[in-house]
Amino acid sequence: MKRVLLLTDSLGCPREEISVEKTWTDQLLQKYQTNSDLYFYTYCKHGLSTSFIDFDYIKEIEPDLIICQIGIVDACRRAFPRLFVRVISLIPILSKITNLIGKKYHKNLTFLWNIHYADKKVFNKSLEKICDLSKKTILIAIAPPGNYLLKNTYNIAVDVNEYNEIISNIADKNENIFFLNPYLQEKDMEKVLLSDGHHLNEYGNISLFNMVSDLIEAIM
């Protein structure tokens, strides 16, 4: 029995628009739940940054394969520093005002300062550490931003490309690390994404499931 860990941020999680059975992660679990020598574990968390991954949990699983879909949380610039947001959240009225300001002026604020939950060096180091904890790793590319994200976050397309380059470079160095970019053939990302400009819609989830499934069959 080979152990597979699904390590994803909210793109692998259900949400209001996408029920759990329509996520690409759950589709994989359904496919391999019977008549398979693969046993799946999940580490799926909304807002997951590479700065806050529980590496001890991954190490204890001793996975033969990690399927990793993270990066947009770190690539996307933030309106305010994380610590500031956490402190402000303790004061409801200030938290509400901050959220309104952040939402209304997000493009301006992300233009003023370059805040990432994990900068490129930390991101690179964390991904390398993830890969070191598994015999094989599939690294899924960060989806190109849709219209809403492009409109509201400064430099997001460039940032996503730079973080994807980090992912690709890590894969190039090791034959047991596979960079999967399911978006290369998509000319219109609005066909793949929800209206928020990043999360996968039903078509996007099905497409990703098929590509991940095919790659698993090829390497395992």
- The model's pLDDT over 44-76, given as tens digits with 9 standing for 90+, comes to 999 999 999 999 999 999 999 999 999 999 999
191 and 99, same domain (yes or no): no
Range of the domain at 65: 2-77+118-219
7 and 18, same domain (yes or no): yes
Which pLDDT score is estimated for 88? 85
73 and 83, same domain (yes or no): no
CATH of the domain at 6: 3.40.50.1110
24 and 90, same domain (yes or no): no
Of the residues 115, 143, 164, which one is the last residue of a structural domain? 115
172 and 82, same domain (yes or no): no
Which pLDDT score is estimated for 187? 83
> Looking at this protein, which amino acid is placed at residue 146?
G
87 and 138, same domain (yes or no): no
111 and 123, same domain (yes or no): no
Give yes or no for residue 35 having a pLDDT over 80: no
Kindly report the average pLDDT of the chain as a whole number. 95
205 and 143, same domain (yes or no): yes
Task: Provide φ and ψ at 23, rounded to 5°.
Answer: -75, 150
Residue 144 and residue 72: Cα distance in Å, rounded? 9
Residue 10 and residue 200: Cα distance in Å, rounded? 9
How many domains, the chain? 2
131 and 147, same domain (yes or no): yes
- The H-or-E segment that residue 98 falls in is helix 92-104
14 and 110, same domain (yes or no): no
Residue 25 and residue 42: Cα distance in Å, rounded? 9
148-194 pLDDT, tens digit per residue, is 999 999 999 999 999 999 999 999 999 999 999 999 988 889 999 99
